[in-house]
Amino acid sequence: MTAADVPALVRGADVLGSGGGGDARSAGLLFAHAVGSGAVPLLDPARATGHAVSFVGMVGAVSAFTEELPGGEEFARAVRAVERWTGERATALASIEAAGLNGLTALATAVSVDLPVVDVDLCGRALPRLEQFSLAVVDGALPPLALALPSGQVLVVEGGDGVRCERVVRAVLAAEGGWAAIATGPVRRAPWSGAGPVRTTRRCLQVGARLEALGPSATTEDVAVAAGGELLGAGRVVEVARRAGAGFGRGSACVRDQRTSALLRLEMENEYLVAFEDGAPVATTPDPLVVLERRSARVVACDRIRRGDDVVVLRLPAPSFWSRPGRTDRVAPRAFGLDLDPVLGERPDGTLW
């Protein structure tokens, strides 16, 4: 992967953010600056057997990250700290989530620690909680985690189940600036497809390249095809409601579909979670729900959607990792306090993606 790939990677990572995950441009700038005229090897998971992989990324409030930008060394510092704690060296890196700004942090970190990147991640889209990392779902616990804070301090959390790790990490972030670089202890898997969603960086690159190639005359159907998604609706945002409360903020946005006059309501937390059409659920997490500005086909994030926006609403297929028994519930609507069953898209052959 090179600096020339950054525009497409940023575009695709924003799409997989499902309205969250932060703006990938900041991580894209970090990677472009770090790699210069060089390149980072991106390893196919099928060819990465035997690698000890440290998953890296940013956790915390995206707004805090953009207000207190990283110096660039935080992610490498987290990797080296967790290596010292576990006594094992990482031989490759991967992203905690191939979406938003975390879609490019592993690439930027790989330059500074001189390691390749394996095309696997722990989410396949943007997800807000550590217990939703695929390693926590598969193993019932997380490996040791190192947090490198913007203040220069480093904290190691010695494993445990995802819920407890989430509580500890959130408490630290609330007291220490709102965000941190995170790295897991080196993990080995054979095959890597058992660790989490695979080839998501390639997916970002492909989706982003197709969106970048759209011309000014592109139709809403063209946008849906380029993004690899299903068109749920297109029209003006007629209402946005935000609800403050404990934990993550909640809200909804309503779009009047210009084709059918149906009212499409999107329930959102950090990400878009559920789409209702005239009151009936038509799409839910774990499928990424994506809102794009109609003219530019740029992502409209949950915290930026406004009344009057002219948008296209899509459903993308979630990675097959989340459709397997015992996994869907971790990222289904009830995991976010929404009392309804998941409504997932279908492949062309009729099977769940």
**Residue 21 DSSP symbol:** S
List, in order of start, the domains of the chain with CATH numbers: 3-194 (3.40.1610.10), 217-336 (2.40.390)
Residue 351 banded pLDDT, cuts 50, 70, 90: very low
Alpha carbon distance 78, 306 (integer Å): 37
Which tops the pLDDT comparison, 26 or 40? 40
Which tops the pLDDT comparison, 248 or 153? 153
Residue 155 banded pLDDT, cuts 50, 70, 90: very high
Catalogue the E-assigned strands of the chain: 42-43, 53-60, 92-95, 117-121, 145-148, 154-157, 179-184, 230-243, 250-257, 263-268, 272-277, 280-284, 289-293, 310-315
Contacts of 172 (CB under 8 A, 6+ apart): 147, 149, 155, 180
Give mean pLDDT, residues 40-53. Answer: 94
Counting residues of the chain whose pLDDT is more than 70, the rounded percentage is 95
Which tops the pLDDT comparison, 134 or 244? 134
How does the average pLDDT of the chain come out, rounded?
92
Do the Cβ atoms of 246 and 222 come closer than 8 Å?
Answer: no
Residue 350 banded pLDDT, cuts 50, 70, 90: very low
What are 287's two structure tokens?
């499928």
Give mean pLDDT, residues 62-80. Answer: 81
- What are the tens digits of pLDDT across the range 169-227? 999 998 888 899 999 999 999 888 888 999 999 999 999 999 999 988 899 999 999 99
Would the pLDDT of 268 be above 50?
Answer: yes
Instruction: For Cα atoms 130, 196, 114, give the angle at the middle one, nearest 5 degrees.
Output: 90
Give mean pLDDT, residues 248-272. Answer: 94
Distance of CA 79 to the CA centre of its chain: 20
Would the pLDDT of 69 be above 70?
Answer: no
Counting residues of the chain whose pLDDT is more than 90, the rounded percentage is 82
**pLDDT score of 353:** 37
Nearest by Cα to 187 from 127, 154, 142: 142
H helix or E strand, kind and range, residue 224: helix 220-227
How many helices (H) and strands (E) in the chain? 10, 14
Q: Which stretch of 95-104, 147-156, 242-251, 332-341 has the lowest confidence by average pLDDT?
A: 242-251
146: β partners: 156, 183
Do the Cβ atoms of 299 and 19 come closer than 8 Å?
Answer: yes
Q: How far, in Å, are 51, 111, 170, 251, 335 from residue 80 at the CA level?
A: 16, 14, 22, 39, 33
Would the pLDDT of 348 be above 60?
Answer: no
Alpha carbon distance 81, 85 (integer Å): 6
CA-based end-to-end distance of the chain: 27
Alpha carbon distance 97, 134 (integer Å): 10
Which tops the pLDDT comparison, 192 or 159? 192
Do the Cβ atoms of 85 and 206 come closer than 8 Å?
Answer: no
Contacts of 289 (CB under 8 A, 6+ apart): 18, 19, 232, 266, 271, 272, 273, 274, 275, 283, 313, 314, 315, 316
Give mean pLDDT, residues 56-63. Answer: 88
Q: At what angle do helices 102-113 and 74-86 cross, to 10 degrees?
A: 70
Burial class (CB in 10 A: 0-12, 13-18, 19+), 146: buried
Would the pLDDT of 352 be above 80?
Answer: no
**pLDDT score of 245:** 61
Alpha helices in 123-188 (DSSP H): 134-139, 162-175
Give mean pLDDT, residues 324-352. Answer: 82
Asked whether the bond before 186 is cis by omega within 30 degrees of 0, the reply is no
